[in-house]
Amino acid sequence: MFSTLKTLIDGANAKAENRLRDSFSIELIDQKIREAEQNLKAAKLTLASLIQKQRSEIRQVETLQARIDDLMARACQALEDDRQDLAQTAAQAVADLENELALRKQTEGRLETRILQLRHSVQAASRRILDLKQGAISARAVKREQGLQKLLNRHLGGDSPIDEAEALIARVMKQDDPFEQSEILREIDAGMDHLNLAARMEEAGYGPKTRATASDVLKRLKAQTDN
């Protein structure tokens, strides 16, 4: 029972986290890019420090080599003058300097290897961050497009302004024409009024005419003219 509840809770938390990441995906992308840029900056500082140490070692190697060359020349001169004591002292100093020189060269070699590796990593990270920035631009465009599409879907979906307008138009078009309705009422009233019955039968040709028409007036005018 407890295991099942724990599984359900973990699943709900995972879904909530995914929804949160989807909602703030652009902000998370920007934050990760900032973190990557900070790491890149730290790597560059480390690279600069290693290069500085390498240059210092190179200068030390050059200085040691110059001292060794100088002592060797002096030792040779001492031997020529049969100064074995000075030559021996110079030889011991040269041996010590050569040991230090070898250690300096090893250190400089390790620094050079480390610098090459770190320089390659920095260049690769710089390219990836540039790609990330380009991807972030595309992601923002897609996010805006998705937002506009969702907004459009809400407007085109159920209970949208378009649907409401269409429903109102249909409702207006289905309503009865008040003018036609008034005409029908007038006809109904006329049919119920017996006073108009004789006029309607007269118009139908039953019985003598009691109302003059335009043709009757024209006939009378013609008859008066003929007389």
Give the span between the Cα atoms of 111 and 102, in whole angstroms: 14
Is residue 75 classed exposed, middle or buried when 0-12, 13-18 and 19+ CB atoms within 10 A define those classes?
Answer: buried
**Higher-scoring residue by pLDDT: 18, 121:** 121
DSSP summary character for residue 227: -
Amino acid at residue number 16: A
Residue 122 contacts residue 44 (beta carbons within 8 Å):
yes
Q: Retrieve residue 179's tokens.
A: 């003018």
**Higher-scoring residue by pLDDT: 181, 111:** 111
Q: Retrieve residue 171's tokens.
A: 């409702």
Average pLDDT over residues 22-31: 73
Give the span between the Cα atoms of 93 and 133, in whole angstroms: 58
Give the span between the Cα atoms of 75 and 133, in whole angstroms: 64
pLDDT digits (tens, 9 = 90+) for 87-118: 888 889 889 999 999 999 999 999 999 999 99
Give the span between the Cα atoms of 98 and 107, in whole angstroms: 14
Calculate Rg over the CA atoms of the chain. Answer: 54
**Higher-scoring residue by pLDDT: 33, 227:** 33
DSSP summary character for residue 212: -
Give the span between the Cα atoms of 213 and 219, in whole angstroms: 10
pTM of the model: 0.54
